[in-house]
Structure 1
């Protein structure tokens, strides 16, 4: 799940012509440098075999001009990535559509990084169908970097924040969050929210602890979930945050003072078959820092 079990897997970035894409490249390059991992810049052109509604292919001159422009996107992205220092950078140009290309690339990736431009389709890899496809079907964590996210200094001391709700995906998110906090040399803030509606869910736990107040039960469970990870990452200072609130509200507030927020693609309250939870969606669209979405183990979608 974490870097230790992945070997030296690459960080993969989806590249297009937008400034949001270049911001994603900068973030990914900095992260690759911290992990001493290779960086793969991938552009999927999605050239049409035929014009829509026509029976003939587009002129070769058109295809060649499109190919030239897209190679220029990759060259620009490579120059941006090189600013992060001495990292192993690979560029890939694919003529296949973006969604299947990036999902396939995610099979061997440490993480997939995409820029959020606020557009749809090829020029906006993180809004619309491509976003949902990658966040719900990728084989690795997916990081959303918003187009308005400012370039930050290398000595950024803001914490990594992880949302914890007790679900299996939440446990995977904790592992990724500890890993990132360790490599960045910053604190980890573990945020767990609860409400009175959780009383039925945790009634058995409350009976075991002689009907402790809900907050005490939740605080105990949060400490237990973090204990093993704190032993594995003893150098990471952890701040526990327990609040009676909806998770999306609390995590959106923390995103304004964090350098990364990590959550599962769906949480404890999600309906079976729902591939992306409301909290994950809210963070992707509104967080003020990059968001990492933890994915299930392969075969457990």
Structure 2
């Protein structure tokens, strides 16, 4: 993951949470000397008219007003950061348009706010906007829920298991840790008394730690027990205990579907974490053998 002069897409809505996400994006953009793209989306209000008419008067007026607000915000961002930034307004379902624009501008990262678990029946079935974006995006997505965040990143939580794909997070963690001079806490969760898996997990943790230490990144390893908790709750408790500033998770890919499906543990972490969560899609092929360079 090359974080030099790269593009960060930030969806901007009416909520305070999107402004908090923008603050996080600005901090990362300054470190990478990158570019910020603000995206405003006008969702269809329904009806057959909106299916065929793109330039109706209400839409044009709404677009002009939103573009004006975003242009003002662009000026403020550029003034604060000294970096290039611009804004776009689009129309349609927000989660789809965020992913489309991310591809259009070749975004390396999406940073977006989230208000937590879905409340409506529709969102409970389909998933929140954040989950839908994470599931469809080809680039990493950082979701920001909490109100107060450290200006930077001191501690990154890196949950790992024995799956080959999850180790891809190590390279992302390495890049971010170098940028922020952060400590990476590599952690695996295990059932108490699972003596069959424990040696393999511990060996994997040590391998990852040595990889990070060998590249100048501070790292610790922990093998913790569920103690009756879910995987998500165990990771979240660990992040709170160690005052984490970022959790990195790998989403799951269902091979029988054309798009990514997000596992329940990943959804729970995204919805309930009070610190930003970076979600990354697996990139390796199923039969590819993973090894740290």
TM-score using structure 2 length: 0.79
Q: Secondary structure at the match of 1:91?
A: strand
CA 1:101–1:74: 2 relative to 1, 3 Å = same
**Aligned pairs, how many?**
271
Which residue number corresponds to residue 211 of structure 1?
none
Which residue number corresponds to residue 22 of structure 1?
19
Alpha-carbon distance between aligned partners in 1 of 2:162 and 2:76, rounded to the nearest angstrom: 39
Alignment of 1:129-144 (within 5 A): 129-144=128-143
Alpha-carbon distance between aligned partners in 2 of 1:30 and 1:78, rounded to the nearest angstrom: 15
- Tell me the CA shift for residue 39 of structure 1: 1.1
Q: 1:75 aligns with which of 68, 71, 94?
A: 71
Which residue number corresponds to residue 219 of structure 1?
202
User: Cα RMSD (Å) of the superposition?
Assistant: 3.3
Q: Report if the CA contact (8 A) 2:153-2:246 is conserved.
A: no
Q: Secondary structure at the match of 1:3?
A: coil
Q: Which runs of 5 or more residues in structure 1 are unaligned?
A: 203-213
Q: 2:62 aligns with which of 62, 66, 69?
A: 66
Q: Secondary structure at the match of 1:44?
A: strand
Q: Secondary structure at the match of 2:81?
A: coil
* Residue-by-residue CA offset, 1:67-93 (whole Å, 9 max, x unaligned): 133224423543553465222212122
- Tell me the CA shift for residue 103 of structure 1: 1.4
Q: Report if the CA contact (8 A) 1:173-1:262 is conserved.
A: yes
CA 1:75–1:161: 2 relative to 1, 3 Å = same
CA 1:239–1:12: 2 relative to 1, 3 Å = same
CA 1:197–1:87: 2 relative to 1, 3 Å = farther
Alpha-carbon distance between aligned partners in 2 of 1:188 and 1:244, rounded to the nearest angstrom: 19
CA 1:62–1:176: 2 relative to 1, 3 Å = same
- Tell me the CA shift for residue 172 of structure 1: 1.9
Q: 1:265 aligns with which of 251, 255, 276?
A: 251
Alignment of 1:1-301 (within 5 A): 2-3=1-2, 8-47=5-44, 51-52=46-47, 60-75=56-71, 77-78=73-74, 81-82=77-78, 84-107=80-103, 108-117=106-115, 128-146=127-145, 148-152=146-150, 154=151, 156=152, 158-195=154-191, 202=197, 214=198, 216-231=199-214, 233-234=215-216, 236-245=217-226, 246-256=230-240, 257-266=243-252, 275-297=261-283
CA 1:70–1:283: 2 relative to 1, 3 Å = same
Q: Which runs of 5 or more residues in structure 2 are unaligned?
A: 287-293
Alpha-carbon distance between aligned partners in 2 of 1:57 and 1:104, rounded to the nearest angstrom: 20
